[in-house]
Chains A and B, each alone.
Chain A
Amino acid sequence: MLREPLTSSRSPRPSPIQRWSESLTGWALVGPGAVLILVFGGLPVLMSLTLSFQKSDLLSTDAPWVGFDNYRKLATDPLFVEAIKHTLVYTALFVPGTMLVGLLVAVAMNRSLRFISVYRTAAYLTMAVSTISQGIIFMWLTDQNYGLVNAALNTVGIESQPFLSSPSQALYVIVAMTIWGWTGFAVIIYLAALQAVPAELHEAAAVDGASRLTRFRTITVPLLGPANLFLLVWLSINALQLFDEVYLTTRGGPLRSTSVIVYYLWDQAFVQFNAGYAAAMAYALFVVVVIITAVQFRITRKYVHNT
């Protein structure tokens, strides 16, 4: 810019008092929100940190300090180790599964068709279904004796599966159930990203003789980078915090086969009354989430083309 804007010659630089007043106005405006966040978000986080160094059942006022005992106990608790394993298996299946299904549905819907908005709404509808309804629907669908899934299997000659009643199958049923529930979310994100892909690039490549598949692989996929990164981080954090679906359907069973970290944490805090131990677990999970997210950012930064 060569010339100063005209207005600047008319009004003098703001005086220190005016600037102070303006910044105070700013602080005052964000103040109420910030206070609420600090009181209801920040404070509990700190209190939970102190709790993790105490032996507390939340009931009695007597909560002795135990240093790092709760954290040390985590390392040797076989049930916690088991819960970590289940959580990792779940995350490793749920995150790529949701992204893949979401991408396929989004690609299928990224075109002009009659009633396309109806299909798009239908795809997103699973997000609007409450977790409770979802849990109940899947419990009945997969019921060992009376479920539709087994009825379908029987008609093609496969015998009925116990699904949620089986220690070796229950976790996978929960994976399928949550993929179904989250697909709509992934579809919306991918659909938005797909529509942002410039049509000129496709046209130019088509002129150069690139096939549909080549164009998808070399133009669309790289441009989906930011959407991938967002979904990867978002879904991973959600997967590591899995609770509702487990609480509703299997209560961590059968035989603890679906006991994931947050479920075990809840069980320790509110069923077994080991609140200090549960708080330590929550902090361990927090650290894991931070590390995984940082790693994901680092790895994907190389491959993501931010435009």
Chain B
Amino acid sequence: MIRSRPIIALTAVAALLLAGCGGKEDNASGPTEIAVWNGFTDASATNFAAMIDQYNKDHPDVRVTQLMTSNDLVLQKVLTAVRGGSPPDVAYMYGSWSPNIAEISTVTDLSGEVSKPGWNWDDFYPAERAAATVGDKIVGVPALVDNLAVVYNKTLFAEAGIAPPAKDWTWDDFRAAAAKLTNSKGQYGTLISGDASEDTVWHYLPMLWGAGGDILSPDNQHAVFNSAAGVKALTTLQQMAVTDKSLYVDATNANGVNLMNSGKIGMLVTGPWDLPSFTDIDYGVQVLPAYPDGAGHQTISGPDNWVIFNNGTQRQRAALDFVKWVTAAPQVAATSKATGELPTRTSVGEDPTLVADLTKKVPGTDTFIENLSNVKKSRPTVPQYPAISQALGQAIVSVLLGTAQPADALNTAAQAADAALAGK
């Protein structure tokens, strides 16, 4: 039977190739299948799976499946899938990627869609809408919202003999408290991630805005963060890191939550997602301080989006309908209840019963929800933002490590940002 062997093997090759090429055909009969890529974990994952089950039960003509991925890596995966011609139908994407996502040709521009009834687009918080908008395009629907506030350790404040921060506190108050909370037993007033990534940068931005500055000129043509306001904000960080040594620069960007939870850090500027991790301490939450002659209490929001890809009209329509359903007020409220995440819609966030309920489960949630109204500015949605962020991140860290002065560092970064904006 020696002669039949090549045929078997060749058939196997052909079968493999066919299998590799399969999966792209449209399901002529049966329900429309759409794939949702997300990186939910723990309670969020359980909640989202339940949402999908619910939707599938109510919509027999559509079958939603999900693919778990890491949120940090989803862009890389989507890029690969787009190049390969088989993108997901819906993907959970960070808002900071919006300008780059806008360049993908199969991403659905929702600008004509969201004004239709049923979306209630204006019910989403302004910061969320801004993060989903790139020029005249809308590239996603808000999936998650957060913001930064100060989480402080009540016990350490009492030990140091400081009153808990008030709503109208200033960055001078913050610095003074940080200094008092620092001691020789390895306790620090506060902590910042010093890996020069966007994580470092977005802790600096609300200080920059609060001091009255901005990242780019209104026409997004050149950098203006090296203004007097920018220098002032960075000087605050410099004073704490270099002069007072009350600011712990966490080079690895991995220790903040653990150190806070073990009572080594007095105040941590962070978002609502970290609250459930602070199980070992008695904490309070307060809005970010202000500069007396600045632009008031501000914060920054990093909303994430559901991005919809066009894989044929039928699947696109199904994807739109699913996203519309999952981001509608009842589902937003249910998600917040199940996961403790901040509601993405104003109507839900203003429901006092829900807010009280959330705050009972996770203390401090009410402050974070209120703080959403302190989101007055957003990061510019320009494709060069990653380069600008990187330049700014290096500037901030060089000052924190004591190797540069704020004005010089920001000027250097502004030059790099301008070069990136000019297209080199």
B3 with A21: CB separation less than 8 A:
yes
B251 with A28: CB separation less than 8 A:
no
Q: When A28-B9, A254-B196 are in contact, do A61 and B105 touch as well, CB less than 8 Å?
A: yes
B390 within 8 Å of A (CB atoms)? yes
Q: When A57-B103, A58-B79, A60-B103 are in contact, do A170 and B6 touch as well, CB less than 8 Å?
A: no
Complex CA gap A65/B104 in Å reads 19
B120 within 8 Å of A (CB atoms)? no
Complex CA gap A143/B250 in Å reads 9
B16 with A59: CB separation less than 8 A:
no
B387 with A139: CB separation less than 8 A:
no
| B contacts with A, residue count (CB < 8 A) | 48
The smallest beta-carbon distance between B421 and chain A, in angstroms, is: 14
B397 with A255: CB separation less than 8 A:
yes
Complex contacts, A28 vs chain B, CB 8 Å: 5-10, 13
Secondary structure type dominating chain B contacts: helix
Q: When A21-B3, A271-B386 are in contact, do A255 and B100 touch as well, CB less than 8 Å?
A: no
Binding-face segment, B165-173, B252-260, B334-342: B252-260
Q: When A167-B403, A270-B75 are in contact, do A255 and B5 touch as well, CB less than 8 Å?
A: no
Q: When A59-B101, A146-B186, A250-B251 are in contact, do A272 and B5 touch as well, CB less than 8 Å?
A: no
Binary contact readout B380-407 vs A (1 if CB under 8 angstroms, 0 otherwise): 0001001100100010011001010000
Q: Which of A26-45 contact B (CB under 8 A)?
A: 27-29, 31-32, 35-36, 39
Contact of A139 among B13, B100, B249, B255 (CB under 8 A): B255
B252 with A249: CB separation less than 8 A:
yes
B12 with A255: CB separation less than 8 A:
no
B18 within 8 Å of A (CB atoms)? no
Complex contacts, B103 vs chain A, CB 8 Å: 57, 59-60
Q: Which of B100-114 contact A (CB under 8 A)?
A: 100-101, 103-105
| A contacts with B, residue count (CB < 8 A) | 41
Q: When A24-B6, A145-B186 are in contact, do A250 and B101 touch as well, CB less than 8 Å?
A: no
Binary contact readout B285-300 vs A (1 if CB under 8 angstroms, 0 otherwise): 0000000000000000
Complex contacts, B104 vs chain A, CB 8 Å: 59-60
B2 within 8 Å of A (CB atoms)? yes
B196 with A21: CB separation less than 8 A:
no
Q: Which of B235-286 contact A (CB under 8 A)?
A: 248-255, 259, 264
Complex contacts, A146 vs chain B, CB 8 Å: 186, 259, 264
Complex contacts, B105 vs chain A, CB 8 Å: 60-61
A164 with B16: CB separation less than 8 A:
no
The smallest beta-carbon distance between A7 and chain B, in angstroms, is: 18
Complex CA gap A167/B5 in Å reads 62
B403 with A251: CB separation less than 8 A:
no
A215 within 8 Å of B (CB atoms)? no
A255 with B398: CB separation less than 8 A:
yes
A251 with B196: CB separation less than 8 A:
yes
Look across to chain A and name the residue whose beta carbon is closest to the beta carbon of B188. A145
A136 within 8 Å of B (CB atoms)? yes
Look across to chain B and name the residue whose beta carbon is closest to the beta carbon of A270. B76
The smallest beta-carbon distance between B410 and chain A, in angstroms, is: 15
Complex contacts, A250 vs chain B, CB 8 Å: 195, 251-252
Complex CA gap A273/B76 in Å reads 10
A296 within 8 Å of B (CB atoms)? no
18 contacts between A and B (CB under 8 A): A25-B2, A25-B6, A28-B7, A28-B13, A29-B9, A32-B13, A57-B383, A60-B105, A165-B194, A165-B249, A165-B401, A167-B403, A251-B253, A254-B401, A255-B397, A271-B390, A272-B387, A273-B383
* 6 further interface pairs, Cβ-Cβ under 8 Å (given A57-B103, A139-B255, A165-B249): A29-B5, A32-B16, A139-B254, A253-B195, A255-B397, A270-B76
Which B positions have Cβ atoms within 8 angstroms of A? 2-3, 5-10, 12-13, 16-17, 20, 75-76, 79, 82-83, 100-101, 103-105, 186, 188, 194-197, 248-255, 259, 264, 383, 386-387, 390, 394, 397-398, 401, 403
